[in-house]
Chains A and B, each alone.
Chain A
Amino acid sequence: AQSVTQLDSQVPVFEEAPVELRCNYSSSVSVYLFWYVQYPNQGLQLLLKYLSGSTLVKGINGFEAEFNKSQTSFHLRKPSVHISDTAEYFCAVSEVSSASKIIFGSGTRLSIRP
Chain B
Amino acid sequence: DTAVSQTPKYLVTQMGNDKSIKCEQNLGHDTMYWYKQDSKKFLKIMFSYNNKELIINETVPNRFSPKSPDKAHLNLHINSLELGDSAVYFCASSQGGVGPEETQYFGPGTRLLVL
Contact = CB atoms under 8 A, between A and B. Distances in A.
Interface of A: 32, 41-46, 49, 51, 88, 90, 94-96, 98-102, 104, 106-107
Contact of B41 (A41, A88, A98): A88
Interface string B40-60: 111111001010000110000
Interface in B35-91: 40-45, 48, 50, 55-56, 90
The 3 A-B pairs at the shortest CB distance, nearest first, are namely A43-B106, A94-B100, A104-B43
Interface extent on B, as a size class? 20 to 34
Contacts of B99: 99-100
A100 B56 contact: yes
Given A101-B100, A104-B43, A44 B55 contact: no
Contact of B107 (A41, A43, A49, A100): A43
Nearest to B90: A43
